[in-house]
Structure formats: structure tokens, C-alpha cells
Amino acid sequence: MYTGEPAKALWISTGAFTVCFAVWTIFAIIGVRIKQDLGLSEAQFGLLVGTPILTGSVVRLVLGIWTGRYGGRLVYTLTMLASALATFLLSYATTYTEMLIAGLGVGLAGGSFAVGVAYVSPFFPPERQGTALGIFGAGNVGAAVTKFAAPFVLIAWGWQTVAEIWALVLAATAIIFWFSTTDDPAFRERRNRGVVSKSLLQEFSPLKNIQVWRFSLYYFFAFGGFVALSLWLPRYLVGVYGFDIAVAGMVAAAYSIPGSIFRAFGGMLSDRKGARTVMYWMLGVSAVATLILSLPAASEGHAFGITPAVFIVTVFVLGFVMSLGKAAVYKHIPAYYPENVGAVGGIVGMMGGLGGFLLPIAFGLLKDMTGLWSSCFLLLFAIVAISLIWMHVSVTRMQRRAHSATATATA
């Protein structure tokens, strides 16, 4: 499909992001054992698994800007090395506070997404960026790697060994990335021409546009919801349906795989059918899926309760359409903001990551307050409904303005 330098940059970046994502979601598995060891509440558990997501979210904006200034190759490599060190030190943490602090460092791996988007985009023309970024974003499958492999390592050698192995793999990936890639074309051109870097005000100027924040809300659900569910599903399946942790981890991994791999398909659809059309489908199907998942479990004795099979199928459908939506959102960014991909991609990615941080905490709080496991899906339904309404109103206004402008021009 792609050849030469662009192909090399894309596939190596995607592999690196896969490893980063595997590290970023490590608490989804080892957090369950830590919860048992320390006797944590659901809210404390939600904070633990969400802490790396917080760091990975907040730093995305900064890393996106740094990528424009110093080049994605350097920033990507240093980000991976810093996260690898924090992940290795996590294995020596013994208290809840120490684990939260280590989790902040682990979360740097999540910031690699903003770096990768700004690094990969310049290698491709606009009509192919949706597909390219969709392929890169498929590195989300790293969450499935953790959920499939980590339970076996945890059972055999303990959660500390999981942290150590994941850290060593990430460090090795950083070294391979550095020696296998080159600077992106846009950075090389700026460096050769001696172009002065934009000021922070210039970098942030697009953030005054409400459209950027609308895209951010879409990504808050599509990406943040995906991350939150990938972290929450093992605990949900254990608590609601009594699954063994290893089985729950494998089911959660199976959820993550299509929710990641099909992001590339979402990029292709966005290139061919239009990102707006893909977004309409994503939000519409998500609304139906989250409404179904909001029903109580059949094991709780309700007449309209859903069985494990129905739950798994529905949540897989939700993960699939989320993957399409993630790609569609990022298709918009190079098209609307070609000169500010780092900053806009960073803020959208940051908001998506914050969704991954805040939603697990909200899930835990809702469970503690209501006693209903399915309350998490009611929250997701509310977010989808707001996003769909806002999108439709905005698109309708844009179409009316375009029609009025056309009518005036032809009058």
C-alpha cells in the first residue's frame, strides 16, 4: 500500500505506539491484583487505573507542540524512554500513594499519540492522511496485548514482573525507533530553511474556534470511552458476571482488538465517504448500543436483563464503531488546521485522554453511589446524545450558511 520512507515511518511509528499503548493500560490488569492486595474501593481503583491516563492526556498538548519544534523522532524517543523508566520503578512501589506517583510517569506513554500524529502526517498527502492516521491509531491494539498477555505473567510471577517486562520492551522499542527512522519532511524543511518556531499564541490560536472543542467532545467519547471501557471491562465482568480475572482479561482483549484494528478501516472510510458521514454512523450506533448496555444484567433477576453473550456482542459493536469515530475525528484535523496539526491534534487528543482518565473514576463513583454496574453505560449514553445533537445542529448551520453564500454569489 505504502512504500519507501513514508511506509517505514508509518509502520515503525505504529509499532512503537502499540507498545506505548500496552504500557499505558497496564493498570487494567495489574490494578485488579493491587486492588485486592491493598483493599481499595471502586473509586480508588478507578483513580489508580486512570492516573496514567491523566498524564498521557495532559502532556499530549505539550508534546504535540514540541514535536513541531524539535521533531517527532527526538520527542517520540525521549517520551518512550521516560515512560519505560517510570514503569520499571513501579515494580518497587508498595503503597497506594507510591503507585499513583509511578502511574503519572507510566502515563507518559499515552502522550506518544500526539507525537505520532504530528510526525506521521507530513509524510502523506491530504487525501491519504485519513488512512495513514487510521493505521497509526490502530496501535490502540496494544491494550489488547496487555489484557491478553499480562494476566498470564501476573499469575506466574506477580504484577511486579509485568511492570518490569513491559518497561524493558518499551525501552528497547525506543532504541529501535531512534535508529530506524528519520525526521519528518515538514520538520526537515523548516530546519533547512531556518524557519523560526511559532510562538505559543500562534500555536494556540485555533483553540479559539468552537469547532476544535466540538471535535474534542467527539474524541472524549470515541477515544476516552474506548480507553475507559478497556480499563473497566475486566473489573465489570468479574463483578457482574463472576468471570475469572484471566477470562475477563481475554474478553477485554478481544474487545480492544477490533476497537483498535478497525481504526484503519475508519480512516479509509473517512477518505472515501467523508469524515462527517462516518461520525453520524458512529454516534447513532453508539447511542443504541449504550442504551442496550444500560439494562441490568440477567443475573440480577430483571425481566429485561442482558445475558453475558448479549453484553459481549453489544460491547464489541460499540468498540467497533468507536474505532471508526476515532479515525474520523482525526481526519478533520489536517484538513481544517494543516498549519497547526500538533497543537489542535494535541488538544483533541488531550480531551480524549481526559475522557479515559475521568470516565473510569466516574464509573467507580456511580457504582459506589447507586449500586448499579450498568450506570456507567447510562453516562456514556448521555455523552453520545449531547455529541450527536451538537453535531447535527452545527452541520445544519454550516449547510445553511453555505447555501446562502451560494445563492448570493449566483444572484
Distance CA 92, CA 232 (A): 25
The predicted model gives 79-108 an average pLDDT of 93
Q: Would you say residue 117 lies in a domain?
A: yes
pLDDT at 180: 92
Q: Does 179 share its domain with 224?
A: no
Q: Would you say residue 67 lies in a domain?
A: yes
Q: Would you say residue 254 lies in a domain?
A: yes
Q: Which domain holds residue 51?
A: 1-184
Q: Does 257 share its domain with 159?
A: no
Cell representation of residue 156? 506466574
Q: Indicate if the pLDDT at residue 378 is higher than 90.
A: yes
Give percent of the chain above pLDDT 90.
Answer: 30
Q: Does 159 share its domain with 224?
A: no
Q: Would you say residue 199 lies in a domain?
A: no
> Which residue among 184, 216, 242 closes a domain?
184
pLDDT tens digits for range 235-287: 888 888 888 877 887 888 778 776 667 877 888 888 888 888 899 999 999 99
Residue with cell 474556534: 209
Q: Indicate if the pLDDT at residue 289 is higher than 90.
A: yes
> Which has more pLDDT, 253 or 182?
182
Distance CA 66, CA 69 (A): 5
Q: Does 162 share its domain with 271?
A: no
Q: Would you say residue 198 lies in a domain?
A: no
Return the amino acid letter for 109. A
The predicted model gives 55-65 an average pLDDT of 84
Q: Indicate if the pLDDT at residue 108 is higher than 90.
A: yes
| 22-26, 354-358, 378-382, range with greatest mean pLDDT | 378-382
The predicted model gives 38-67 an average pLDDT of 82
Give the pTM: 0.75
- Helices 4-24 and 72-90 meet at what angle, rounded to 10? 20
Distance CA 274, CA 301 (A): 44
How far is it between the farthest Cα atoms of the chain? 76
Q: Does 259 share its domain with 124?
A: no
pLDDT tens digits for range 135-179: 888 887 887 788 888 989 998 999 999 999 999 999 999 999 999
Q: Does 225 share its domain with 180?
A: no
Q: Does 283 share its domain with 379?
A: yes
Distance CA 212, CA 209 (A): 6
**CATH number, domain containing residue 29:** 1.20.1250.20
> 3-state DSSP call for residue 167?
helix
pLDDT classification of 389: cutoffs 50, 70, 90? very high
Return the amino acid letter for 69. R
Q: Does 32 share its domain with 174?
A: yes
Give percent of the chain above pLDDT 70.
Answer: 91
Q: Indicate if the pLDDT at residue 359 is higher than 80.
A: yes
Domain count, the chain: 2
pLDDT classification of 74: cutoffs 50, 70, 90? very high
Q: Indicate if the pLDDT at residue 33 is higher than 80.
A: yes
Q: Would you say residue 189 lies in a domain?
A: no
Rounded CA Rg of the chain: 21
> Which residue among 129, 152, 184 closes a domain?
184
Q: Would you say residue 389 lies in a domain?
A: yes
pLDDT at 206: 72
Q: Does 223 share its domain with 98?
A: no
pLDDT at 64: 81
Q: Does 33 share its domain with 138?
A: yes
pLDDT at 76: 95
- Helices 27-38 and 210-241 meet at what angle, rounded to 10? 50
Lowest mean pLDDT among 196-200, 362-366, 384-388: 196-200
Q: Would you say residue 194 lies in a domain?
A: no
> Which residue among 154, 184, 214 closes a domain?
184
pLDDT at 298: 65
The predicted model gives 382-390 an average pLDDT of 95
The predicted model gives 57-71 an average pLDDT of 84
pLDDT at 82: 96
Q: Which of 137, 15, 44 is nearest to 365 (CA)?
A: 44
pLDDT at 326: 87
Q: Indicate if the pLDDT at residue 288 is higher than 90.
A: yes
pLDDT at 314: 93
Q: Does 3 share its domain with 144?
A: yes
Count how many residues are written for the chain: 411
Q: Does 93 share its domain with 31?
A: yes
